A and B are shown apart, each in its own frame.
Chain A
Amino acid sequence: MRAARTARALLAAAAISTGAHATIHDHIFAGRFDIPADAPASANDAARFLTQATFGPTAADVAYLMAVGYAQWTDEQLAKPVTLSEPTVEAVVTARTNNGQAVTQTNRLNRWYWQATYAPDQLRQRMAFALSQIFVISDQAAGLNKYYVEMSDYQDMLARDAFGAYRTLLGDATYHPMMGLYLNAFHNVKGSATTSPDENYAREIMQLFSIGLIQRNTDFSPVLNAGQPVATYDQDVITQTAKVFTGFTFSDAPLSPPSFFGGGLTYAARYAPMACWGLELFGASDSHMKHDITQKDVVASYVGGVSVPNAIPANQTCAQDVTDELDILATHANVAPFISRQLIQRFVTSNPSPAYIARVSNVFLSSNGDLGDVVKAILTDGEARNPPPQFAGDSYGKLREPLLRLTAMWRAFGAIAPAADQYGEVHMIGNGGLYNAFLQSPLESPTVFNFYLPDYQQPGTFADNNLYSPELQITNESTTYSTANAYYAFTANASQGPLTDRPLLSFAAFGATPTAASIVATINTSMLNGGMSAALQGELTTMLTGLLASSPPPSVEPEWSAIYVTMLSPEFATQR
Chain B
Amino acid sequence: MSQTRNSRREFLRQMACVACSGGAAAMFPQLRMMSTALASTSAGSTSALSGYKALVCVYLAGGNDAWNLLVPFDSSRYNVYSTSRSGVYDAANNPGGLGLVKPTTPTQIAAQKIIDGNDASSATNQYFLNPNVPELTSLFNGGNLAFVVNAGTLVKPITMSDYLASSSNYPDQLFSHADQTNQWQQGYAVETSNLGWGGQCGDVLGGSNGNQELSSCISIAGANRFEVGLTTVPYQLSSNGLTNLKGMCNTTCNGNNKLRDTALNNLLGETYANDFSGSYSDVFGRGRGLYSLLAPDLPTFAPKTIFPSGNSLAAQLQTVASMINLCAQKGYASRQIYFVQLGGFDLHSGMMSGNGNHGQLLAEVSTALNAFWSAMGPGDVNLQDSVTLFTMSEFARTLQSNGSGADHAWGTVQMVMGGAVNGGKLYSNGGGPISGFPNQALNAPNNFARGQMIPGIGVEQYAATLAQWMGVTSTTDLNTIFPNLVHFSSNNLGFV
Give A contacts to B, CB under 8 Å.
Answer: 142-143, 183-184, 187-189, 192, 194-200, 203, 207, 213, 231, 235, 238, 350, 390-399, 439, 446-447, 449, 453, 456-463, 467, 469, 472-482, 484-485, 488-489, 492, 533, 535-536, 539-540, 542-543, 546-547, 550-551, 557, 561, 564-565, 568-571, 573-574, 576
Contact = CB atoms under 8 A, between A and B. Distances in A.
B435 interface: no
A547 B259 contact: yes
A397 B343 CA distance: 32
Contacts of B238: 478, 482
19 contacts: A143-B350, A194-B401, A195-B402, A391-B273, A395-B274, A399-B276, A459-B228, A459-B233, A460-B1, A461-B279, A469-B276, A476-B287, A480-B283, A482-B238, A546-B255, A565-B264, A569-B267, A570-B267, A570-B277
B45 interface: no
Given A457-B194, A481-B287, A488-B247, A551 B256 contact: yes
Nearest to B239: A478
A220 to B, nearest CB: 16
Interface in B391-409: 398, 400-405, 407-408
B413 to A, nearest CB: 21
Interface in B1-24: 1
A563 to B, nearest CB: 11
Interface stretch (B28-36, B108-116, B150-158, B170-178): B170-178
Contacts of B262: 539, 542-543
A162 B192 CA distance: 34
A570 B281 contact: yes
Given A194-B401, A203-B175, A476 B276 contact: no
A543 B177 contact: no
A457 B223 CA distance: 11
B263 A542 contact: yes
A574 B274 contact: yes
B348 A478 contact: no
**Which 10 residue pairs spanning A and B have beta carbons closest together?**
A477-B287, A476-B236, A570-B277, A488-B246, A194-B86, A142-B355, A142-B356, A543-B263, A570-B281, A539-B263
Given A200-B348, A207-B176, A561-B260, A477 B245 contact: no
A194 B402 contact: no
Interface string B192-208: 00100001000000000
Contact of A478 (B237, B264, B272, B356): B237
Contacts of A398: 276
B297 interface: no
B91 to A, nearest CB: 14
Contact of B403 (A195, A207, A551, A573): A195
Given A143-B350, A183-B348, A480-B280, 14 more contacts: A142-B354, A199-B402, A199-B408, A203-B176, A395-B276, A460-B279, A476-B223, A482-B238, A535-B267, A540-B263, A557-B256, A561-B260, A565-B260, A574-B280
Contacts of B175: 203, 235, 238
Contact of B222 (A439, A488, A542): A439
A472 to B, nearest CB: 6
A472 B223 CA distance: 9
A62 B160 CA distance: 65
A557 B405 CA distance: 56
Q: Which of B62, B86, B247, B291 has the most CB of A within 10 A?
A: B247
Contacts of A439: 222
Contacts of A456: 223
Nearest to B401: A195
Contacts of B233: 459-460
B287 A480 contact: yes
A337 B27 CA distance: 52
Q: Which of A390, A394, A482 has the most CB of B within 10 A?
A: A394
A533 B96 CA distance: 63
Q: Which of A457, A461, A489 has the most CB of B within 10 A?
A: A461
Contacts of B327: none
Interface of B: 1, 61-62, 86-87, 96-97, 172-179, 194, 199, 219, 222-223, 228, 233, 235-238, 243-247, 255-256, 259-260, 262-264, 266-268, 270, 272-284, 286-287, 290-291, 343, 346, 348-350, 354-356, 398, 400-405, 407-408, 450
B349 A198 contact: yes
B264 to A, nearest CB: 6
A550 B276 contact: no
A477 B291 CA distance: 9
A184 B404 CA distance: 10
Nearest to B181: A449
Given A196-B402, A199-B348, A392-B273, A447 B343 contact: yes
Contacts of A485: 243-246
B232 to A, nearest CB: 8
A576 B283 CA distance: 19
Given A475-B280, A478-B287, A463 B245 contact: no
A477 B290 contact: yes
Contacts of A184: 348-349, 405
Nearest to A190: B403
Contact of A476 (B61, B283, B291, B450): B283
A488 B264 CA distance: 14
Contacts of A457: 194
Contacts of A482: 238, 243
A461 B275 contact: yes
Given A394-B274, A462-B275, A478 B236 contact: yes
A394 B273 contact: yes
B247 A195 contact: no
B496 to A, nearest CB: 28
A199 B373 CA distance: 38
B402 A570 contact: no
A561 B275 contact: no
B268 A570 contact: yes
Contacts of B236: 476-479
Contacts of A462: 275, 279
Contacts of B228: 459, 463
Contacts of A571: 272, 277
Contact of A463 (B87, B172, B194): B194
Nearest to A350: B276
B356 A477 contact: no
Contact of A550 (B96, B255, B279, B402): B255
Contacts of A478: 236-238, 287
A457 B225 CA distance: 10
A367 B42 CA distance: 59
A46 to B, nearest CB: 21
Contact of B86 (A187, A195, A477, A536): A195
A306 B237 CA distance: 49
Nearest to A193: B86
B180 to A, nearest CB: 12
Nearest to B97: A194
A195 B349 CA distance: 12
